[in-house]
Amino acid sequence: MREILISVGVMLVCVVFLIVAQFNQPKEAIATPLQPTIEQAQLPTPMSDDATEPASTSETATPEAAVTTTDSGLQYVDLVEGTGATPRPGQTVYVHYTGTLQDGTKFDSSRDRNRPFSFRLGAGQVIRGWDEGISTMRVGGRRQLVIPPELGYGSRGVGPIPPNSTLVFDVELLRIG
């Protein structure tokens, strides 16, 4: 009987602790909105050579023109074209990245940690959208990847990423190891 009373006492202390911890949580969101996704980005209106009037529509690039969509549904935009080597399957790549949901909520960033992330390309160590999206980059390049749920975490979600989320990554290929 004594053991039961001790167990009940410990459980009550734990419950009180959890309740107090809930009341001490910040009331505002802990995630911050980041840069807009490809669909939300506003491109400046190109000007003619004399910079007095907008360029003709044949010279004006549309946002869709910059977006590449692969057969798998992965979308990407090269923000900076790299000039170095392209990684091959099995090689270790070192990247900096910031991951957001489509609404701009940041869920992870190697830049915030000031520590590059490394993985073996094509070995299934990362989500499929990363293996595919980084495999065609060049060292020094920076790319925005828009990864559909099927190439991300799918219906299971992970941590702060809800199920069936489209993910947006700003990825910079630093080097191949």
Catalytic site positions: 97, 107-108, 127, 153, 169
3-class DSSP string for the chain: CHHHHHHHHHHHHHHHHHHHHHHCCCCCCCCCECCCCCCCCCCCCCECCCCCCECCCCCCCCHHHHCEECCCCCEEEEEECCCCCCCCCCCEEEEEEEEEECCCEEEEEHHHHCCCEEEECCCCCCCHHHHHHHCCCCCCCEEEEEECHHHCCCCCCECCECCCCCEEEEEEEEEEC
